[in-house]
Amino acid sequence: MEPSYLRLHATGELARRTRKAVARLAGCGLCPRRCGADRLAGETGACGAGRRAVVASFNPHFGEEAVLVGRGGSGTVFFAGCSLGCVFCQNHDISRHGSAGIEATPEELAGVMLDLQRRGCHNINVVTPTHVVAQILEGLAVAVEHGLSLPLVWNSGGYDLPETLALLDGVVDIYMPDVKVWDPGEAQRLLGARDYPEHARRAVAAMHRQVGDLVVEDGLAVRGLLVRHLVLPGGLSGSGQWMEFLAGLSRQTWVNLMEQYHPCGGARYLPPLDRLITRAEFAAALAEARKQGLTRLDGQGVIK
């Protein structure tokens, strides 16, 4: 299955989407913050980013989901800056500082993607991409001209706007959003975004409409939705509500319930986030997923 963006490129639609996304950097409203910064003129948005994307790191990653990793790894590109302010962020050293990396031109970002392809990666996995959608499209348009042909994975925190995701319809092959916190009050306290739950639900629904349930061929994901949910201590993530929501989209939704939470950043000062989750807490989240009829649970031995 060839990447969707190749067809858009052939018709000129990829170039049109790129121009439209870049134009929206002026008075930026690409993410739910809608901060209005004129990033085309060099202003910095609420995300910490300006006109160019800042690449914090890129490499074949073997710690992602098995359906992304295969034998060659997932070609991850980590971007500095972020539209969210999660107190427990495991990448807080780059997410809070828009300059923590190397500023990349479209040609340089294309070079990163092509290098990962040459190194045998199975996909291009853009991590924390929401605030640099325009720059990713610019780089992708150049990379396609030089032979890029890997599926594109959109690895976001779920804080995406449907109108921005519309620019990615037919561009992104695999959406991999997080669904973090269900309660608006906790979202404000832990993510700095009271409207996160509402926007995440709309975004994940839009992603599913675009690509449907995850399709796996020869052990590798080629298209569809894969949702991550980090189980937080004390039930703060609202796992039961999220599992009900995801099952409402489709009981074939591929879900990775993650149990690796550990205190990072400012979380160590906010009980109960100052501790690991218990086995009972993870078991309860897993039971909620099964109660809702979700069977495609990553790493749980029940995937069909």
The answer to whether residue 298 sits within a structural domain is no
pLDDT value at residue 304: 43
Could you tell me the pLDDT band of residue 44, with boundaries at 50, 70 and 90?
Answer: very high
The answer to whether residue 262 sits within a structural domain is yes
C-alpha 260/C-alpha 230 separation (Å) is 8
Which range is least confidently modeled, 96-110, 204-218, 268-282? Answer: 96-110
* 74-79 and 124-127 strand pairing: parallel
Closest C-alpha among 247, 241, 245 to residue 284:
241
The answer to whether residue 296 sits within a structural domain is no
Q: Is the pLDDT of residue 68 over 50?
A: yes
Residue 57 tokens read as 């790191």
The answer to whether residue 222 sits within a structural domain is yes
Which residue range forms the structural domain that includes residue 245? 5-291
Q: What CATH number does residue 124 fall under?
A: 3.20.20.70
Which range is least confidently modeled, 67-71, 243-247, 273-277, 299-303? Answer: 299-303
Residue 243 tokens read as 């599992």
The answer to whether residue 124 sits within a structural domain is yes
The answer to whether residue 121 sits within a structural domain is yes
Q: What does the pLDDT average to over 131-159?
A: 98
* Greatest distance between any 2 Cα atoms in the chain: 53
Q: What does the pLDDT average to over 81-106?
A: 84
Which of residues 69 and 93 earns the better pLDDT score?
69
Instruction: Count structural domains, the chain.
Output: 1
The answer to whether residue 32 sits within a structural domain is yes
Cβ proximity of 14 and 139 under 8 Å: no
The answer to whether residue 301 sits within a structural domain is no
DSSP run (H or E) holding 107:
helix 106-118
Q: Is the pLDDT of residue 30 over 50?
A: yes
Q: At what angle do helices 133-145 and 106-118 cross, to 10 degrees?
A: 60
pLDDT value at residue 98: 54
* 152-155 and 215-217 strand pairing: unpaired
Indicate the DSSP class of residue 204: H
